[in-house]
Amino acid sequence: MLSQTAEYALRTVLYIAGHADEGPARAEEMAASLGIPRNYLSKTLHRLAHAGVLTSTRGRGGGFLLARSPEKIPLLAVVGLFDQIEPRRQCLLGRPVCSDQLACEAHVQWKDVSERVAHFFSDTSVADLMGHAEPRVKAPGGARARKGPKRPAAARPRCRGCRKVAGERGGKYTRARACAKKEDLYHAVLRRRITGLAADVGPALVAPVPPAEAIRRFVQAFVGFLLLHPDLPALMQREILDHAAAHALPEIQANVGALLRRFAEIIRNGQASGDFRRDTDPVHAVVSILGQVIYAFMAQPIIQGVLLQRGTSAPDAVWLREFGAHAAAFALRALAPDSSSHHQPRSR
C-alpha cells in the first residue's frame, strides 16, 4: 500500500506522538527503536519538519516534536509527502488512459477502493491511530505542563532492544517492563510477520495461471512484502541462530507451510506438463528461489556499499525489485526443458 519511505514517516510520527510526554524525540533513539537506518530517518524527519508536520530543536535535550496536536494532523499530511494518495490513482492494469468513459476491466471496482483509501488518509488523524491524550506542551515561563495523565514509568521500556521491538507494535508498550517482556514482544512481532507473509504472498500461488507466471508473481509478491518489512530476514536469522527456529517453526508450519508446499507443487505440475525439466528437485528449486531473494535483502549494506557504491543509508527498492525479476527469470531458465534432460538421471 505505502512506499517504504511513507511507512517510515508514519511510524515515526506515531512514535513521536506516543512519546510526547517524554520531551523531544532524538533521531538516533527513534532509529534504534523503530529499526530505521539513521541517515534515511534524518532525511525523512527534515522533510516532515519542512512541511510543518514536526518542529525541531537543537542542542542538549533537542529533538523532534509534533508541530500540531495529533487531532489536527491527518495521515495524508504525513504520507502525502512521499506517496501519491488521491481518489483517482493510476490504472490498476497499467493503462495510460483509464476513465469512466474508457474504463478497463477493473475500473469500477478499483475506483471505489481507491476513493475509500484516499478518504481514509484524509479523514483519519494521527490521534485516531494513537488513542491517547494530547502531547505535552510548554507552560508559561518555560515550565512544562501536561495534558492528560503521565504513563507509569514501568510501562516505558528503558532498553533499546525493548523499544525497537515494541515500536513495531505502534509504540504502545502495554505491560512491557524493561527487558522482562523483550522476548515476548520479539516473538509477537515475528509471529505477525510470518502471518502477514502468508496473507500477502499466498494469493500469488492460487491464481489460475501457467506455472512460469505463478513463479514470477510469487517472487514479485515476496519482494514487495520484504520491502514493507525489511526486518523479517534479520529476525529470522536471529531466531535460527539463537533458538534453532524453535519459536518460528510452529508459525511457519501453520501459516507458511502450505504456501511453500503449494510452490513446490506448482513446479511439479510444470514438470508434468512439460513446461519445466524433470530432472530438478522441486524443493531444491523452491529453496534456491527463496534463498536468492532473502540473501539480497540481508546483504543490502554490502551490495549497496561495495558493489553498487551507493552508500548504505536505506534499502534500494528499485534495485531489489529488479533483482527479484532477475531471480525469477534465472529460476525459469534453470527450469526450462532441456532436450537432453530426459537422458540424465534425476539428482538425489
Domain boundaries, the chain: 4-150, 185-338
SS3 content of the chain, % helix, strand, coil (to 5): 60, 5, 35
Reported confidence tier of residue 148, pLDDT bands at 50, 70, 90: very low
Distances (CA, A) of 22 to 59, 98, 115, 162, 167: 16, 49, 37, 17, 15
Give the other-Cβ count within 10 Å of 19's Cβ. Answer: 23
Percentage of residues in the chain having pLDDT higher than 90: 18
4-150: CATH topology: Arc Repressor Mutant, subunit A (1.10.10)
CA distance 205 to 268: 13
pLDDT tens-digit series, residues 274-295: 999 999 999 999 999 989 998 8
pLDDT exceeds cutoff 80 at 151: no
Give the mean pLDDT of the chain.
76
Determine the number of helices (DSSP H) and then strands (DSSP E) in the chain. 15, 4
- CATH number among 3.30.460.10, 1.10.357.10, 3.10.110.10, 1.20.140.10, domain 185-338: 1.10.357.10
CA distance 88 to 111: 7
Give the other-Cβ count within 10 Å of 262's Cβ. Answer: 16
Beta bridge partners of 54: 66
Rounded to 5 degrees, φ, ψ at 26 are: -85, 145
Reported confidence tier of residue 340, pLDDT bands at 50, 70, 90: low
Residue 57: its pLDDT value, please? 86
pLDDT tens-digit series, residues 46-86: 999 988 999 988 877 789 999 998 988 999 899 888 887 76
Residue 92: its pLDDT value, please? 65
Rg of the chain (C-alpha set): 23
pLDDT exceeds cutoff 70 at 25: yes
Reported confidence tier of residue 165, pLDDT bands at 50, 70, 90: very low
CA distance 189 to 32: 16
- Flag whether the pTM goes above 0.95: no
pLDDT exceeds cutoff 70 at 272: yes
